[in-house]
Amino acid sequence: MQFTANNTIDQVGIHYFSMMTTKILGHICRLNTSTDVGIDAWIELVDGNRMATGTYIAAQIKSTENADKKTSVTHYIDENHKEYWINHSIPVIFVDVNIDENRILIKDISQRNLVQTDTQWKITLTEDDELSKVGSNLFSSLARPHPSDPLRSKLRELQILLNDYSYVPVMVAEMADGLQVINRTITELAQLLNMANIDTARYGREIRSDIEIQIGRALNIKTEWSYYYTSD
């Protein structure tokens, strides 16, 4: 089995990213040694006390060798990969490693950073996206705990519960009972948000945003139910 020049470039880039993530940012980078379906590495964040937080970011790494010193680079993504990364349970970053320049550019794979073309999507990274410049802030803002984390599990439980109350029942008695459940859910969501705000090293901006979205959703449901309950 031939180990091609492209294989060499890929391996150098992946290991260089792993090394520099630990050297510059102090985080743990675990390379994906199993079948690669779009995730090359998992980054576990380490807090200021050198404690692993159990908070993760996934990375898709593209390695190149180009000494042209371009100020930006664009990569193209097909629809399947775009959907896989956007809907992943862990935030995914796109990494461009130029092994000739020892340069690492990173950007989170999100709808705001993707531009649709006629047949696919593209993401553009610039010199402003260098790992050493933006890595610390980007990682801490994106990081989500593992799906098995108690806070995430509870959030998912409350989200499913709200799905059951997304319609207004006909019976007034059901409305009264439902409003109690909705109020209790709002309280529990507020408690989750407070926990996340206290431990920002573990719960990044994205997970806090997830909680806030569910609080807003619960308040809207409460408003709708209250309107029909008082009307009756």
Same domain, 20 and 133: yes
End position of a domain, from candidates 145, 168, 193: 145
189 vs 88, which has greater pLDDT? Answer: 189
Same domain, 160 and 224: yes
C-alpha–C-alpha distance, residues 12 and 78, integer Å: 25
Same domain, 165 and 125: no
* Region at 26 (left for phi over 0; alpha for psi -120 to 50; beta for the rest): left
End position of a domain, from candidates 115, 145, 175: 145
Q: Does 208 have pLDDT greater than 90?
A: no
Dihedral over alpha carbons 200, 43, 39, 106 (to 10 degrees) = 80
pTM: 0.70
Query: Please, what is the average pLDDT of the chain?
Result: 88
| Overall size of the chain counted in residues | 232
Same domain, 116 and 197: no
CATH code: domain of residue 29: 3.40.1350.10
Same domain, 129 and 26: yes
User: Is residue 175 within 8 Å of 117, Cβ to Cβ?
Assistant: no
| pLDDT tens profile 78-135 | 999 999 999 888 889 999 999 999 999 999 998 899 999 999 999 999 999 999 999 9
Q: Does 16 have pLDDT greater than 80?
A: yes
Look up the domain containing 212 and give its range: 150-231
| pLDDT tens profile 215-227 | 999 999 999 888 8
End position of a domain, from candidates 145, 177, 194: 145
